[in-house]
Structure 1
Amino acid sequence: AQPQHATVEMAPLGTGWSPVDEELGLAREAALSGLRQGIDLISDQQLLPMLDSQRVDPFLGVVGAHAMLLDHKPDLRRLDEVVRRLAPHLPGHPDVAALRTLTDGPSARVASPPMLAASCRLLIEADAADPGVIEDGSPAEDAAERLVGRGVWTTWLEQERWPGTLGPRGGPVPRGTAGARPLASDVVGRVQAYVQEIADLEGRAVADVLHDVPRDELCRRTGLPHRPVERAIEGLRGTGAG
């Protein structure tokens, strides 16, 4: 299975699922391919029906909204209209909350990981500017700290291997052996190593780097939410790293 190449469709509860028309399906695939590559691959003729199809498949609107953002000058007024029309169909959906950070500013605290990696990046950027947009200690924060680049969908490494994983004789699988889930990298250590590398390259003290590179800028550069970056800063200051 290659979930990074999957397509997601939504249908109202109780009505069952039926595929959308062929043109909308092709537009969705073009938009998802563009999101994977970071380039705008759909025309206005393809995009507009996606943005107006919330009653058929609201997730088409989410994908279409992100496709809009690939334009070098996205129409934020149009995006705001799309997000407002999506909200009643996807109440509390983290992907809609992510899009709202561009139109309404910081939204309600997000606890669940969004479906699209592009949405997760929007939430991380908003969390850097307004700590807590991603709810502290939530699954959304856990995912944001451990994102991996595996396509258009939000994908992250688990902090530990799956509980209950058994070896060939019924015992637990040791870490580092086949069958174990990969451990996530030390995100705090990653930020600290980044700051230390800047200090070493520029021949400066770590304290000077921290003074010149504020927390939100470190969040932006490392692609991490505020909490691991704050822990890294506290650790560097606490050890008096030079």
Structure 2
Amino acid sequence: MFPMLDSGRVDPFLGIVAAHAMLLDRGPDLERLDEVVRRLTPHVPGHPDVAALRTLFDGPPAQVASPPMLAASCRLLIRADGADPGVIKDGSAAENVAEHLVGRGVWTTWLEEERWPAAAARGGPAVPGDTGPASGPRPPVADAVSRVEAYVHEIADLSGTFVSEVLREMPRDELCRRTGLPHRPVDRAIERLREAGPG
């Protein structure tokens, strides 16, 4: 890896994959991994997958607005955003993707929200020029805020306690980690749950 990163023929994506492979080791050599990521950074400045790896060493990077290619990178960003809100830029494509992740494969995959709901409601195509779905209607995208609320209610039901007590005992970053969501939908869910009362 190091000779490639020092050569003029760098394959940045191979470096990103190698860094994630190093993390899979039972006892990853974090000094060596940090060195790989530092050498990789100048070759792909601002790349979301590299920014995700940087969160392991440097704390929060500049706000990440684009979704990373690898699902493992997306999970790193979500975890960092839960601890330090703003790692994933609020309102960005990266945040939208993080709220709608699906699958367990290597690549970051998500269900896209309908962008033109008014056209679809009129019976027209959801996307201009689209002739309609090829294999039936797409499933609705689950609302991230509602997913967090349901999770908190389930914990309250299982523990026989109030939602307000669950919220008091579970910090936001832990709720982000458990639900796999960035800070904004978790914050909105906490706010809505508190407004609803102790229930």
Deviation at 1:239, TM superposition (A): 0.9
Deviation at 1:114, TM superposition (A): 0.3
Looking at structure 1, the residues matched to 118 and 107 of structure 2 have their Cα atoms a distance apart, in angstroms, of 26
State the partner residue of 2:34: 80
Extract structure 1 runs of 4+ deviating beyond 2 A. 51-56, 161-166, 170-173, 175-183
| Structure 1 pair 77–115 and aligned structure 2 pair: CA distance change class (3 A) | same
State the partner residue of 2:165: 208
State the partner residue of 1:66: 20
State the partner residue of 1:172: 125
State the partner residue of 2:102: 148
Looking at structure 2, the residues matched to 154 and 119 of structure 1 have their Cα atoms a distance apart, in angstroms, of 8
Partner secondary structure for residue 121 of structure 1 = helix
The residue correspondences of 1:37-56 to structure 2 (distance < 5 A) are 49=1, 52-54=3-5, 55-56=9-10
The residue correspondences of 1:110-149 to structure 2 (distance < 5 A) are 110-149=64-103
Which letter does structure 1 place at the counterpart of 2:36? V
Looking at structure 2, the residues matched to 162 and 179 of structure 1 have their Cα atoms a distance apart, in angstroms, of 17
The alignment status of 1:96 with 2:46, answered yes or no, reads: no
Q: CA RMSD in A?
A: 2.4
The normalised TM-score by structure 1 is: 0.72
In structure 1, stretches of 5+ residues that fail to align are 1-48
Comparing both chains, which one has the higher relative contact order based on Cα–Cα distances under 8 Å and sequence gaps of 6 or more? 2
Deviation at 1:164, TM superposition (A): 11
Q: Is the 8 A contact 1:108 1:133 kept in 2?
A: yes
Which letter does structure 2 place at the counterpart of 1:60? L
Q: Is the 8 A contact 1:161 1:183 kept in 2?
A: no
Question: What CA deviation, in whole Å up to 9, does each residue of 1:58-86 have, x standing for no partner?
Answer: 11000000000001111111111111111
The normalised TM-score by structure 2 is: 0.87
**Is the helix fraction higher in 1 or 2?**
2
In structure 2, stretches of 5+ residues that fail to align are 127-131
Percent of paired sites with the same residue: 72
Partner secondary structure for residue 87 of structure 1 = helix
Partner secondary structure for residue 43 of structure 2 = coil
Partner secondary structure for residue 141 of structure 1 = helix
